[in-house]
Structures are given as structure tokens and as C-alpha cells.
Chain A
Amino acid sequence: MATATASTNPSASASTPSASASTLASASASASASASFAFPREYHFPAFYTRQTNLTTLHAQRTKWSALILAYARHHRIFRLALSSAADTDLFFNRRLDRRLNADDIRDVVDFMRKDGRAEYVGGGSSGDVVFLFWRKPDEWAGLVETYVDQSGQKGSVLTVYELVEGDGTKGTDIHGMDTEVLLKALNVIVKRGKAQIFGQDDSLGVKFF
């Protein structure tokens, strides 16, 4: 299933392309690529863009937004989201309905996701413009990396972070093209488990698995 042959109607397409088909790494997705993402039903519901006053409904609304953002990020392999610029993307702006989620509400959802462990501000803290989106949580990534190392028989050997992200060995896996910082968070989890060790400096970080 090719991404180039997308229909113009976002709601009509129900196809779920495999993760490997997409190589997009940033939020600036092309129109044709975003068309292939199947938005959930709520995306086309006008009231979905208004912050609800009923607490139960509000919780459901946040949950659904959170799910939508993560699914969107997973589809487009977005690891970092710049909130100010993302407000104008399809994710938060439904051009057909002419409804958008305003900046305050986006931050509200992000805060909700942070509590859930699904997002984190870049640089830490409780504010900022760019957030990490953990459509896989760091320990999930850690598990993924471990299995990769296991399966490729590289236990005991030393790998550089660059190798993991850009190297040919990880091609075809989700690790390929990962955000470096997210990968580092994952590797740190492995280190804490006592199954790896990180060494080296900023640019040339290496990791040894045991």
C-alpha cells in the first residue's frame, strides 16, 4: 500500500498502512500522507473541539484526544511535537469543520498525557513548547531494543547510538529513525536494569549490552 496514492477524503479512507511504509519523522507531514491516516469518529464531531464542563465527559474527551494524538504520532512516527506549530496541523485543526483545539486545551491534553506517562516536555519541567510523545513508553522501547539486540546476536558487543538509529542493521525495525533522545531514555532504562552500559561523550555515545 503506497502512501502516494491517497484519496483526498480523509474520512473515506479506512486503510491502516503498516508502520514500515511511512518514513516521516516530523510533524510537517505532507497532505497526501496525512490523508492516509484514519481519524477517529470524534475528529469529525464539532463538540469535540470544545472543552467540556462535565468532568466525566471532560475525562472522556481528554482520553480520546490523547489516543488520537498518540495514534497520529505513531502513524507519522512523530517523536517530538512543537505545540505552537502543531496547532495548525490536521491533528488539531479540522479544516473541513473549521474547528480547532485552541492552545490552552492542547496544553491541557498534554498535561493529561504527562500524568499518564505518554508525554514529556523536552528539557523536563512542566512547561515548554516541544514535547516528546511516547506512543511507546521508554520501557517499551527498551524492550524493543533488547529484543533486537538479542535476535541479532549482538549481546556483549558495543553499539553506537548512531548505529542503532541510522545503521543498516536496524532497518525494518521501529528502532530505525528513532529520536535520539527518546532512544537514550530507553537505553537508560536498560542500564537501570543492569543489562547495558552507556559510555562516551555527547556525539559519540556508545552502549554495551550484556
Chain B
Amino acid sequence: MFLKSIDLTTALRPSYLPDEVLLFVRDNVGLYEGKSKLRDQQNGQVYLTSHRICYVDQKEPRKRSVALDLKDVDRHEFYAGFLKSSPKVTLVPKPLKRGSYHTRVLSSVSSSPRSVPGSPGHSEGAYRPPADPPTATAATWVCTICSFSNPVPSNFDPTAANAHTPLPPCLACGIKPTLSHVLKAAISNANNRPSPSPAISTSSPLALRSGPSDPQSMSESQGDLLTSQLGDMSIGGLNGTNGKGASFECPRCTFSNHPSLNSCEMCGASLVSRDIPTSVQQDSMSDATRAESPGPVKDQSKGQNDMPENIKLSFRGGGGPIFYERLKGSMTQRKWLLHNAPPAPKTNRMLNESNGNGSPGSPSGGRAKTAGIAGLEQLGLNMRKNNEILIGSAFEDLEALMASAKDVIALAERFARQTNNGQDSATAEENAILAESASQLGLITTKDIVGGGSSESLYLSELSRNLAEFLTDDSRGVLKKAGGIITLVDLWAMFNRARGGVELVSPMDFEKAARLWSKLKLPVRLRTFRSGVMVVQSRDRTDSTTVKTLLSWLQDLHEFPPDRDVPWDWQVFGRGVTAQEAAERFGWSLGVAEEELMMAEERGALCREEGLEGLKFWVNYIDDGDTAKVKGKVRKEHDQIMSALKHSGLL
């Protein structure tokens, strides 16, 4: 399938492949397949990355999000918009070499109210192979029964056709041709020779339109395919009757046809020529399907087209031109190829040296000579030399730098790791974050990505998602390390540090983005304490769960004796805790601990004691709680008595 469903991150953004780089984001985009709207994909965000185009639906992102790989895209066109129709980017998929046309033909038959009467079977499923412009006369095969020249189905691929390829019957008499017959016709047409007409010619105008069934015949591998181009110009084919001026001369039988027809009235040959400018085609298409109008909506209940003729992105909120620019850029760069690319080109010098000295990479004879510490040193020396050459060659010119970008980044990361070795763990952790940022470069949201500040809200929502991802990223564990709660200021500092000094986020934007979390239903939330301190925590951690954890901790203090003798009965009251202790216990920062304790007090779960040792918090034994506790005690005693009685055999 051209459109694939995709995985989303916790922040409802597409999860990226390794090496994938985000290029552009745009919201308010709808999808079309061919000329029809895709009903479920009419409002969403489109992410252009170096590898894919991802559509994330606004309403049901988990269900309806799709992506298409750029490597499957054969051709792309831009339509700037006309009157009310929005700008659109058309993506034409590469042809697939497969043999099963069954479903496609079926679906096209069932959903062809707009197709030309002459060729009901194959107007929808047809797509235009763009590389070679379609010939004016499409391939035809002549029926052996009635000698009617039928068009070879546009989706007929001689290289893939086999006995199971469904073939449409003759349009005039309804008799199915043999596969070899159609193949022959296709090949002869490909060779630009007129197809040989068979001898038998009986005309029986029976319009038997039976559905396609299993054909017989053999399979053969052939040369290149040429598909007829039907159906793209189907609009207007039904209502055009008054046109007098220009007429279309059939390229095969020279009959002058009405200009709105796209197959010859006499011989049925396709009339669509390559002379028609693409803009005309597009105008006619997009006129019929502008955003506001209830244009044709693709009926998805009637079988899914495996290979749509094209996919269109309709940019209702603008941003189409920039998207198209970047798309062109990434189509030219073809980064997806890099994934399996060989490492940076080694210079001759390097090769010589590695051969001569026996570098670790090459298992040549030199290695055996140096063993032990000397060998290890030699190895290290070689490695350093290698690195030196790599860096040196990388900067020779830009071309080379781009080619070896991957290696240089890897090298930089290794350096970062090496510098960590001798230092204490705290800075090592920070450096690790810094080093990670190199690999994260592709994932950050910048104002540039969302189209040059044209839409502040889109930038903020993307930043908001970006932040949520940053927070919930398990490998980083930002939230976990901070005990599930972190002040906004700390997060801001950490986030900007992770960005490695580029594209820093302003505090204002940061706060605005954080405020969007709840609106975007992201798994983190912003909380403002009474003192005005803003903190970030995951959505599932509400006040009541915090209170619960606090209480269970304080309950534990009833069981474990305090460090020193206390005048009160600790088994009854436990112990008072300071904010400091809570911070240590839960890994919170001191401010957060204080706020959380205050919050619990506010809810009546805790009470305070101000003494010489500072402010301490206790389980609230002042307010009502004790009555419940007494009841519990009574019940416990009762249970004990009952169990004792049972034990003694009285019950």
C-alpha cells in the first residue's frame, strides 16, 4: 500500500526512523486519493521528513494517521490553488510490479459513476507512469470474435501478467480474450508497430458486461509497459454536448470526435494526448474538489485501492509552497538511500596506510607482527591517525563533509564519551545529554520547520509535543530522575541544554508551549502551586495519588522506630517530616517537596507542627481521622477475638 499507518510517539507525533530528519510541519491539511477526499483524513498535521510524509489526524491520531515513503514517490506536482480551491501537492506513486489486479478492477468497476461510458472497466485504477509520457494512441487488442479494437487495460503490466491476471472482456461482444492475445497486442504497441488485425471479423453488438473472472492462459515476461491513459480526463465526459469548435481527430481512425470525449467514438482508441498541459488537468480536477465544497468523498467501504493513482495534500491553512520546496529538496537528496550507504570514502592515503600498517579494520598480515602492549599502542595510534584523516578529509570541501557527515557525528559522540571517562558521574550525565543532542538534532522543532513564523500557534503546539516527548523519553528519563515532578524552570534549562546551544527556546514560548499540554491531551501536565511555582508532572500523577504516597510513607514511620528517642508514642503518631526529608525520600527538589506537603495539608491529609526543628508535617490526627481509626481498631480487635475463638475451636 502506498499509504501506511504509522506509529506515534506519546506526544502524538510520528516516531522517526533512525537518521530521519524533520523538515517541515503544517497543520490543517487534508488528503485526497485521486480526485476523491479521504473521509477520515481531512484535518491533520503533515510532517515532512527526509524519508517520509506523515499525516497525523487531529481527531483520531492513533487510528487515522498515515505516512507514505518518499522512496515510493515517483513524481510530485504542485498546484497553486485557484479561487476557492486550496493549494495542493500531488504525489504519484511508483508503479508496483505485481500481478493481482483483481481487487483494483473490482473496485474501479464499483466506483465509477464518473467514468466514460465506453470504458467502464478501467478508468479509476489507471495511473500515469510519469517517466515516459503516454503515447497518443494507447495499446489496443482486436477482439477475435467481433474484431472490435479494445484498449488494453491501463493497469496491464506485461512483465507481471500471468494466468491469474483478470482481463476485461471485449467491450462490444463481451467475450474474454486470451492472455497471450492481449500480451501480443501490448508488446506490438510497445514496439510502435500497428497491431496486426486478426482475420475473423463478426460484429455482434452484445453489451455483455460481466464482471472480471479468472482468466486462463500462461504467463510471460515482457519488456516495458505502456499503459493507456484513461479516466484522468473523465470529468466533463458526460455532459459535453454543445461543443462545436475544436474537435479531436482520432489518431487511429482519424474520426473527428467531440473534444470532451476521451476515447474515440468510432474505434474506442484513447484520445487523451500528452499535449494537454498539466495545469489544465489539475485545474479541472481541483475545481471539482475544493476544500470548502463537499467534493467527492472516497467511499472506503467499497474495497481499498491497493495503489491509488495519486495522493494529494490540500493545504487549507497555507504553507503549501514551502512544503513543496522542501519536498523537492528531500526528493533530490534521497536521504533514505544513505541509510545503507557505505562509510565515508577513504582516501588513497588512508588505504595505503591501513594496508601498510595493518589497521584494526583490515585483517592483513601487519597485525601479527605487533602484539602485546606495543600492539595495543600501535592500534590506538592507527585509530587516531584514521580519525585525523577522516576529519581532515571531511573539511576538504563541502561535498565531502556532507558525504561523511554520519561518520563525523559518530566521531564527535565518541569524543564526548571519551572526555567523560575521567570525571565524576554528575558531569558525565550532563555530557551524555549533550552528546545525545547531536542525534536529536533532527527531531527538534524550530521556527524554521513550521514555515518561517507564519503560524505561531503551530510552532507552539509542535514545541509542546516536542517537550512532551523529551519528558516521557524513557532513555532520558527526565521526569523519572526528578521524582516524577520537575519545576518548569529546571525543565527549561535542561531542554535548552539538550538542544546544544542552537535554536534555544525563549521562556515565553516555553511557558506557552507548556500550557498547551492539556489542550493537546499530552501525557504530561503543567501544575501551578499556590505560591505560583509551576511544575511539570505526568498526567497520571494527580494530587490525590501524591497524597496517597505521602500518607503511605508516613504510615511506614509508625512501623519503623525513629532514629532517636522521642517523647511521644511513635507507634501511634509516627513522626513529623520536614520538606527536606520528603525531598530526599521522593527525589523531589526542595521547593517541590514543600509545595507537595502544603498541598497535602491543604487537603486536610496532613497537619503542621512548627517547632525548634522547623516546620514538620504529620498525619492529620487532629481532624476527624481518628474516629475512623478507632473504628478500624475496634474492628481489628473484633477480628482478633473471632480468630482466637475459631482457633480454640469454640466457633
Chain A residues near B (Cβ < 8 Å): 11, 41-42, 44-50, 52-54, 56-57, 60-61, 64, 96-99
Q: Are A46 and B568 in contact (CB under 8 A)?
A: yes
How far does the alpha carbon of A49 sit from the alpha carbon of B604 in the complex, in Å? Answer: 17
Distance in Å from the Cβ of A136 to the closest Cβ of chain B? 25
Q: Are A46 and B576 in contact (CB under 8 A)?
A: yes
State whether B622 touches A44 (Cβ < 8 A): no
Chain A hits for B601, CB < 8 A: 53-54, 57
B622's partner among A60, A96, A98, A99 (CB-CB below 8 A) is: A60
B608 near A53 with CB under 8 A, answer: yes
Q: Scoring B residues 606 to 637 as 1 if CB is less than 8 Å from chain A, else 0, what string do you get?
A: 01111100001010111110100000000000
* Top 3 A-B residue pairs of the complex, sorted by shortest distance between their CB atoms: A60-B623, A47-B609, A47-B618
**A44–B568 contact, CB under 8 A?**
yes
Which of the residues B602, B618, B620, B624 comes within 8 Å of A46, measured between beta carbons?
A: B618
Asked if B16 is at the interface of the complex by the 8 Å CB criterion, the answer is no
B204 nearest CB across to chain A (Å): 96
Contact indicator B626/A56 (Cβ below 8 Å): no
Q: A52-B607, A53-B608, A99-B611 are in contact. Are A47 and B567 (CB under 8 A)?
A: no
Q: Is the CB of B608 within 8 A of A96?
A: no
User: B572 an interface residue at 8 Å Cβ cutoff?
Assistant: yes
Say yes or no: B576 contacts A41, CB within 8 Å.
no
Which residue on B lies nearest to A51, using beta carbons?
Answer: B610
Q: A-B contact count, CB below 8 Å?
A: 67
Q: Are A46 and B623 in contact (CB under 8 A)?
A: no
Q: Interface on B for A, CB 8 Å cutoff?
A: 567-569, 572-573, 576, 601-602, 604, 607-611, 616, 618, 620-624, 626
Q: How far is the CB of A14 from chain B (nearest CB, A)?
A: 14
The answer for the CA separation of A41 and B630 in the assembled complex, in Å, is: 11
Q: Are B611 and A50 in contact (CB under 8 A)?
A: yes
Report the nearest B residue to A62, measured CB to CB: B622
Q: Which residue on B lies nearest to A64, using beta carbons?
A: B622
A47 B621 Cβ-Cβ under 8 A:
yes
The answer to whether B567 touches A48 (Cβ under 8 A) is: no
From B623, which residue of chain A is reached at the shortest CB distance? Answer: A60
Chain A neighbourhood of B622, CB < 8 A? 42, 45, 47-48, 52, 57, 60-61, 64
Residues of chain A within 8 A of B610, CB atoms compared: 50
Q: Are A56 and B623 in contact (CB under 8 A)?
A: yes
**A44-B569, A45-B622, A48-B622 known; A54 vs B611 contact (CB < 8 Å):** no
Q: Name the distance in Å between A23's Cβ and chain B's nearest Cβ.
A: 32
**Chain A nearest Cβ from B641, distance in angstroms:** 20
Closest to B620 in A: A57
- A47 to B605 Cα, complex, angstroms: 13
Q: Which residues of A contact B569 (CB under 8 A)?
A: 11, 44
Q: CA A41 – CA B573 in complex, angstroms? A: 10
Contacts A44-B573, A45-B568 given; 15 further ones with Cβ under 8 A? A41-B572, A41-B626, A42-B621, A42-B622, A46-B573, A46-B609, A47-B608, A47-B622, A50-B607, A50-B608, A50-B609, A52-B607, A53-B601, A56-B623, A57-B623
Chain A residues with CB under 8 Å of B604's CB are 54, 56-57
Complex Cα gap A111–B553 (Å): 37
**A45 and B618 within 8 A (CB):** yes
Taking CB atoms, residues of chain A closer than 8 Å to B626 are: 41
The reply to whether B621 and A41 form a contact with Cβ atoms under 8 Å apart is yes
Closest to B575 in A: A46
Write 17 A-B pairs (CB below 8 A) sorted by A numbering. Answer: A11-B569, A41-B621, A42-B621, A42-B622, A45-B573, A46-B568, A46-B609, A46-B616, A47-B607, A47-B618, A52-B608, A57-B601, A60-B624, A61-B607, A64-B622, A98-B567, A99-B611
Shortest Cβ distance from A65 into B: residue: B622
Q: Collect the chain B residues with CB atoms within 8 Å of residue A42's CB.
A: 621-622
Residues of B contacting A46 in the complex (Cβ-Cβ under 8 angstroms): 568, 573, 576, 609, 611, 616, 618
Shortest Cβ distance from residue A61 to the other chain B in the assembled complex, whole angstroms: 5
CB-based contact A45/B608 at 8 Å: no
Cα A96 to Cα B610 in complex, Å, equals 17
Residues of A within 8 A of B620 (CB): 57
How far, in angstroms, from A57 to B626 measured CA to CA in the complex?
A: 13
Would you give the shortest CB distance from A53 to chain B, in whole angstroms?
A: 7
Separation of A50 and B601 alpha carbons in the complex (Å)? 13
Taking a contact as CB atoms closer than 8 A, the residue among B572, B576, B602 that contacts A47 in the complex is B576
Q: Do A49 and B609 form a contact, CB below 8 Å, given A54-B602, A96-B567?
A: yes
In Å, the complex CA distance between A75 and B601 comes to 34
Contacts of B621 in A (CB 8 A): 41-42, 45, 47-48
How many Å lie between the Cα of A47 and that of B573 in the bound state? 10
Contact B608 A97 (CB under 8 A): no
Q: A42-B621, A47-B616 are in contact. Are A54 and B607 (CB under 8 A)?
A: yes
Contacts of A52 in B (CB 8 A): 607-608, 622
Closest residue of chain A to B619 (Cβ to Cβ) is A47
- Chain B nearest CB, measured from A11 CB (Å): 8
Min CB distance, A93 to chain B, in Å?
Answer: 13
Rounded to whole Å, the gap between the CB of B30 and the closest CB of chain A is 53
| A21–B156 CA distance with the chains assembled, in angstroms | 114
Given the complex of chains A and B, what is the CA–CA distance between A57 and B618 in angstroms? 12
Residue numbers in A under 8 Å from B623 (CB-CB): 56-57, 60-61
Cα(A49)–Cα(B601), bound, Å: 16
* Cα distance A97–B623 in the bound complex, in angstroms: 20
Closest to A40 in B: B626
